[in-house]
């Protein structure tokens, strides 16, 4: 049961980070004379590092925490933009 929960959480966080990063990359280049900000795609890399760390039993918790860093950052940006 615990392993299934880890897999489900990783799938949802991965899709969330992937979709929001790609959309953010596309939106960042929509203005006049602006180029897309490739740093947004770095969130996918941070998530992937956390996923890779979860493969080792010794540092699984650290990897789980690292996979949530991009999620919390994106949620923070969303809530800040909505002035909540």
Number of domains forming the structure of the chain:
1
| Residue 40 vs residues 14, 29, 45, 60: alpha-carbon distances, Å | 14, 12, 10, 25
pLDDT in the model for residue 5: 86
- What are the two backbone dihedrals, phi and then psi, of residue 35, each rounded to the nearest 5 degrees? -110, 150
Tens-digit pLDDT string for the chain (84 aa): 588 888 898 999 999 999 998 888 878 767 666 666 777 888 999 999 999 999 888 998 899 899 999 999 999 988 998 886
Query: Contact, 68 vs 13, CB < 8 A?
Result: yes
pLDDT in the model for residue 84: 67
Q: What range does the domain containing 75 cover?
A: 2-81
The Cα 70–Cα 31 span in angstroms is 25
pLDDT in the model for residue 45: 92
pLDDT in the model for residue 39: 79
The whole-model pTM stands at: 0.80
Structure letter (DSSP) for residue 43: H
């Amino acid at each position: 049961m615990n392993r299934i929960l880890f897999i489900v959480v990783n799938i949802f966080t991965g899709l969330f980070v992937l979709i929001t990063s790609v959309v953010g990359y596309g939106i960042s280049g929509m203005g006049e004379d602006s180029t897309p900000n490739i740093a947004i795609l770095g969130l996918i890399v941070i998530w992937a590092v956390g996923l890779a760390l979860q493969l080792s039993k010794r540092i699984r918790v650290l990897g789980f925490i690292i996979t949530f860093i991009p999620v919390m950052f994106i949620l923070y940006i969303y809530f800040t933009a909505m002035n909540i």
